[in-house]
Each structure stands twice: as structure tokens, then as C-alpha cells.
Structure 1
């Protein structure tokens, strides 16, 4: 969008506009509220774990549904008058030099912030296996640490043939009563096949034609051979950014497709921070995808952002460094 077409909405910007109402964004808003930063949290209502039966592997919240988690977080945020939460989908974000950022909403609303914290997360692209979308989040999942224990003492299937499959299967070795890798017509690396054989993990190479719920189990149908009944299916997904704002702003990305950040969430653009599973440091090859990790990243990014604003507002920037918008009166 041309600078000439940007509405004059920067006269009294928020200190921070947080985009994304998942664990990272909610925690960031809480941290900012506790130091009374004028904060706007924009929540589109779409979440990576929206289909999950429950959150797991998070102390004090193990077994909580995502909806219960969000409701509790929003109730806590109401305590902080400086934090506003708005249900809205962002369509575009534009940097305005010297003023901060203008955020355009899909309902034609416009808001502005001195700084921006992106907590938009990832979404999971599933392989095109019939029946998998209907099961994903309950009897099918992508993370052994987050959901594997729910399939304990059952026959567990691991779907796929990529390099991550043997590790995913072996992670479940102490949890499942039996394991079968379903390559769905793909071929495992011979060394990986040998590792699975040595561990006593069966491999079925036939094409999977259907996954269907059978009570508390899953029936797996194949193009050839007998069906398998399993207690759960683990599958490797392809995570992609759920929002285009890193590209819009020209932020530096990593080979994973995620936004590059420093250890406390600063991106390659001054005034823009990112937290959650859509951002990670170059030292981490993949994002740390879990609710507890996202919340921790949101807290750290909010603290770094607040510290940076304190520095800017008190004139302590290094000589020659560009300034953000001045502190609003």
C-alpha cells in the first residue's frame, strides 16, 4: 500500500499491537499489562490447536481444553485496564517510518502501534490421507510429547515415510503396546528400515485408503491386505506460517519458513517482535511447537519489547540509531 493511502491513525498509537490470540500472544499481553503498556491484542479466532481435544505436557494445565485455556487467559487479562482485546482478523500491516505500524483489519478497521508483536503461529498441512482431517487433534496427532501418552498401551500407527518417521516411532516405544509404521506407498530409507526392524517395529508399505473412527479406536484400511485397528495415529505434518505478515514487512526468514528472531524475540526489523511457533532463533533448526514454549516466548518478547521502549523513551539509543514513534502524551 502506498504511504499516501495510509489513514491518519498514528496520532495516538498503542504502545504495542499484538497480532494473534494463542498462548504466545495471550502471555505477551499479560506481561505487558503488568507494566501498564497500552496494548491491543487482535485475535482472529483461529488457532493451530483449535481441533485438539486437550492441551498436554504443560504443568498445571495438563488435560485442559484449548477453549478453557483461552477463556481463563482472557479472564485474567480483564484485570489489566491497559490491555484491550479485540476479535479481529488482520489483513495487512504497514510500517510508517517515524510513527510505528498501521494495522489494517478485514472489517475495514484500522489501528496503529508504536511496536508490533507477531504471535500468529503456524498451521499444519496434513498429508492427503482420507479420513485424517476428521481425526486430527484427537485420535491422530503430530507430536508424541504433546499427545502420545493418550495412546498409551495401545497399538499405535506412525503414518509416513520421511526421515522423521523412525524417531517418531521410537519415541513411542515405551508408551505403545505395539507399533506399526504405515508408509502409505512411500519408501523408507534402507538404514531407517533396518533400525525399525531391529526394534521390532512392523512396517506396512501399502497405500492407506481410509482412516475411520471405530469407537475409541481407528480402523486403517489399505489398498491391499487386511485392515489394522489402532489406538492412535501419529503423523508428520508440514507446518507453514498461518499469516503473511513476515513477508509483508520483509522480515528475515529461516530455512524452516519461520521468522528469524534473536533469543528474546527481536526480528530483523526494529520495532517488530515475534513469538510462538512461527518464529525461532537460527540456533534452533525447527520451532519449539508447544503451548508452554509459545507462552514462554511471548513473555520473553514482551519483556524485551518493554525494555527497548524504555530505552527509546529516555533517549538512550546509540548515536545514529533510528527512533520509533515518540511516547504518546
Structure 2
């Protein structure tokens, strides 16, 4: 059904999956009693492989991961199902690795292109407003805890600042901050952000954890319509302001940032305390994004940006 795909580089788990992809996909879809007529590799990277399986009447997507347990994504698809939100329709999943040596999720195929491929700023803003409204709706749902569940569905009892600190640590942000900002400025930065009381959160809500133009599938005719938010992040239970700050990172188009905020605020403006907290969260995530992904020019400018931002808090 699907020819083996050659993986690049030395990523052995990924290469093993790609080398036997056709066999694996056939085993995954067999219990669904489908009659596949074709299978197409949609995407593959170091953490995820997606295959579209087509019958005469429908398309489904098999997403599998040689590196990630996929527990966060499965939780989000389940908890938001039936809430009239733009998410893929969950069909089946197995995180136990009992059938295959990696977890997989099967969901309905969603037509559309990533919003990151749309150049018309008016269309981007329209789509971003829809995303902002969907985010606000999802944030009304309580989560069992902060962070993410285990593959067995259990949540740990952890504080929000601990989850944030671990998230930053996995990206090497803490170690890099001292080198790029200098120890004194880095200490002031941490004290004003992740260690500050304004970023404490008592009640975890369902969040996407990776809102970005590339993670929104849209269709375009006379207007843009968001079909699905895909690829959630590692954190799916937490402070809604984390989602809002991620979605308005400076590296995203201004029309996207503006539309997100407009859509999010349509159901009611943020309170004064939320504005203050959002300012600190945006500083934290802007710096983290730059330290993780920024080029030499962006890294050189970061100390000045942090100093200016701290002065405005």
C-alpha cells in the first residue's frame, strides 16, 4: 500500500519507522475494516510521521511517533470532541505500544493548507480571529492538572511554575539565558517572569500549547475558514495566557497576532490583572523563543529587549 521511505540522518527510530511504514500502516488500519485504495505520506520529521489513507468514500490520517508518547495530543482530541471547535475528529488511538513499538493516533482527514502559507494579510487576520475565538472557548474547559497526562491518562499534582520551568529547561533556555543575558540580567528576568507571583495559576484549563500559523489548517474562497487546529504542544493543561502569549510571538505576522487578540477578546476583554500577567508571559516566551530559535542578530538584540521590557513592567 505504501512503499518504504528513506529517512535522512542518524535518527534510527525514525528510519526504522519509515523503512517499514507500509506494513505498519496496514496493521494499524486493519481493525477498522476499511478497503484502502491508496496511502500517501503527508509529512515526516524527527518526532512524527503522518500518512493519509484513502478509500473510495473517505480519507483518514494515521499519525505515529517514534519519539513522543502522543498523550497530550490524544487528551486534547478527546476532551474537546463534541464542543464545536476546529479540531480533527478522533477515530482510534493506541499509546500502549502493544501492537507496534510506538504510539499512534487515527483521526479524520482535514482539508486545507497551513495558515502560514497564506500571504494575504486580510485573510490571515480573519482566520486568526477564528482561532482566537476557538482558544477562548477551549479555555473555558477545566483540565485535571498542569502539564500533560501520562499515556495511561493519569495527571501528576504539579504546580504551574514547575511545569513552566521544566518546559523551559527541556529547551535549554535556562542555561542559555545566563550566557546571552549575563547572570545579573538573567536573574532579574527570571524574577520578573516565571518566578513572579503574577504568573502563578491556581486552576488549570485546557490549552493547545503550540498555537502558530503553521498549526492551523484553513480553506480559502472569498474568505478564510479555519478547518482545524493541529499539532498541540507538550503542555495541554495550564494557564490560558500561555496560549495567548505563544500565539502572539513577535516572529509571527502582525495580522496573525492582531487577529488572535481580537478574536480572543470578542467574548469579553481581559481584566487588568490578566493584562499585567500577559505582559510578563509574553516577555518570558519571547525570550525563550529567541534563545531557542533566534539567529546571531536576534540573540545580540535580546539583552536590550529584556531591559526595555523589564522597565515597562
TM-score by length of 1: 0.22
Bigger share in helix:
2
Compare relative contact order (CA 8 Å, sep 6+) and give the higher one, 1 or 2: 1
